[in-house]
Amino acid sequence: MKRGYPPLWLCALLLVLALVWKMMGAPLSSEEFGNLRTPFWQARVLLPSRLQRVLQLWLPGQFNGQEGQTLNEDGTDPDQRELAKLKTTETVMLPVWLPQEGKIVSMSLESYVCGVVAAEMPAAYHAEALKAQAVAARTRALRQVSDSGCLNHSGAAVCGDSACCQGYASMEDCREKWGAEYELYRDRIVSAVQATRDELLTYEGEPITVLYHAMSGGKTENAQAVFASGEPYLVSVDSGGEENAKGYLTDSTFSFEEAAGLLSQAFPEKTITAQQVRRALTVGEYTNTGRVKTVLLDDYELDAQTVRKALKLRSTWFSITADQNGVTFHQRGYGHGVGMSQVGANSMAANGADYQTILAHYYPGTTLEKQ
């Protein structure tokens, strides 16, 4: 080999590394780095399935997987085979109102929990975070059953609307959302639900009121600061490791006219003009965690939770600035901030915490037990 040229083995190694990098879905440009949907370390979850597909293309005689098939050789639907792992001799059945179908469907509790985890938490999250989400989803469902069921859909114990009960993703929804990674993600979620089967969080012997959200911003909120009442286990706790998550800090900008119009719809009893927004919109009072409790607009005191909904802000942890073009809300975190932070749970799991530790941290004073 001529001097000055790298050895062939090094060239081959670099080629293999480049291929693995691309198979992991790794970014190649600064723009792609900025658009990562999940922390980069989680790409390792995808590597085995993508490597298998490459080998199927290169060595079809050696790797004849079942990908793309509906039935296996034994005639069993792969989805049903996975869900069968969740069946017990005493299966709890739930009447669930599904917005996708517009009707109540009866399903087992554990199948419902699978659909909730698939809808509410990214399937690429750490396995221990998925387990924590499974316990939270199961506990919330059983608490609603013991109360009065779904308030918005008569005859249903729970529904699949995240604005009412919990989100729910059917197998068809998951296939559309996950694409080629469907089987990998399905198996991860079923495994998380199976590993925590029949487990729920209790306080003084009763299932707790479970709340969770996407990302706290570094500290969760006390329930009483957001809702009408609080619970001794829904209190503020630190939630570290969220700082590098996508969407940790976001800005939302509105023209003065646009902001005035949206706020007028949310507060119809008040007269709100663009001139007022330009001149006097500011933060009034904060909660103990640093989130905004009230917003001032001249003589008006506006509830920050209502302002958030009206402007579709990601959280009430925000500051306000204005210039000649409009008003900007600088936000931190995503969601109401009460209970378990999903990004925080994922960070704890990545640092070695198991799901029991995660749940004990975000719901202090509760007990994890089997029903």
User: 304 falls in which pLDDT band (50, 70, 90)?
Assistant: very high
Give the number of domains in the chain. 2
pTM over 0.85: no
What pLDDT does 162 receive? 92
Q: What is the mean pLDDT of residues 39-61?
A: 59
Mean local confidence (pLDDT), 3-25: 73
Question: Looking at residue 13, what is its pLDDT?
Answer: 84
Residue 186 has pLDDT above 50, yes or no: yes
Q: Where are the beta strands (DSSP E) in the chain?
A: 93-98, 103-108, 158-159, 199-203, 206-207, 212-213, 249-254, 281-286, 292-297, 300-303, 318-323, 326-332, 340-341, 367-370
The answer to whether residue 187 scores a pLDDT higher than 70 is: yes
> Which backbone phi and psi does 238 adopt, to 5 degrees?
-70, 150
> CA 132, CA 195: separation in Å to the nearest integer?
10
Same domain, 207 and 351: yes
Q: How many CA atoms lie within 13 A of 362 on its CB side?
A: 37
Whether 209 and 115 share a structural domain: yes
pLDDT of residue 148: 84
Confidence label for 61 from pLDDT (cuts 50, 70 and 90): low
Q: Is residue 28 part of a domain?
A: no
Q: Give which of 127, 304, 116, 130 is closest to 226, Cα–Cα.
A: 304
Provide the mean pLDDT of the chain: 87
Same domain for 211 and 342? yes
For 80-113, the pLDDT digits (tens) are 555 555 555 457 899 999 998 999 999 999 999 9
Residue 139 lies in a domain: yes
Length of the chain: 371
Q: How much is the pLDDT for 66?
A: 43
Q: Using the structure block, give the residue that is written with the tokens 């994890």.
A: 368
pLDDT of residue 82: 57
* CA end-to-end distance (rounded Å), the chain: 70
Alpha carbon 100 to its chain's center: 19
Least confident of 13-22, 130-139, 257-266, 277-286: 13-22
Residues 173, 84: one domain?
yes
Determine the Cα–Cα distance for residues 21 and 109; give it in Å rounded to an integer. 39
What pLDDT band is residue 68 in, cutting at 50, 70 and 90?
Answer: very low
Q: What is the pLDDT of residues 258-287, one digit of tens each?
A: 999 999 999 999 999 999 999 999 999 999
CA atoms within 13 A on the CB side of 149: 11
Place 8 in a pLDDT band, splitting at 50, 70 and 90.
confident
Q: What's the whole-number mean pLDDT along residues 48-61?
A: 59
Token pair 């939630």: residue: 239
Torsion, Cα of 138, 144, 146, 149 (10° steps): -130
Q: Are residues 281 and 186 in the same domain?
A: no
Q: Does pLDDT of 41 surpass 90?
A: no
- Give the range among 5-9, 144-148, 256-260 with minimum mean pLDDT: 5-9
* Residue 22 CB coordination number (10 Å): 12
Q: 3-class SS at 305?
A: helix
Residue 67 has pLDDT above 50, yes or no: no
Pairing of strands 93-98, 158-159: parallel
Residues 206 and 299 in one domain: no
What are the beta bridge partners of residue 219?
238
Segment among 40-54, 68-82, 265-279, 321-335 with least mean pLDDT: 68-82
With a cut of 50, say whether residue 74 has pLDDT above it. Answer: no
Together in a domain, 157 and 271: no
Residues 319 and 363 in one domain: no
pLDDT for the residue numbered 92? 86
Residues 86 and 203 grouped into a single domain: yes
- Section 110-135 average pLDDT: 97
pLDDT band at 16; cut points 50, 70, 90: confident
pLDDT band (50, 70, 90) for residue 70: very low
Q: Range of 204's domain? A: 79-218+337-370
Compute how many other C-beta atoms are within 10 angstroms of the C-beta atom of residue 133: 30
The answer to whether residue 54 is domain-embedded is no
Report yes or no on 299 lying in a domain: yes
Residue 182 and residue 294 in one domain: no
**Rounded CA gap, 166 and 184, in Å?**
23
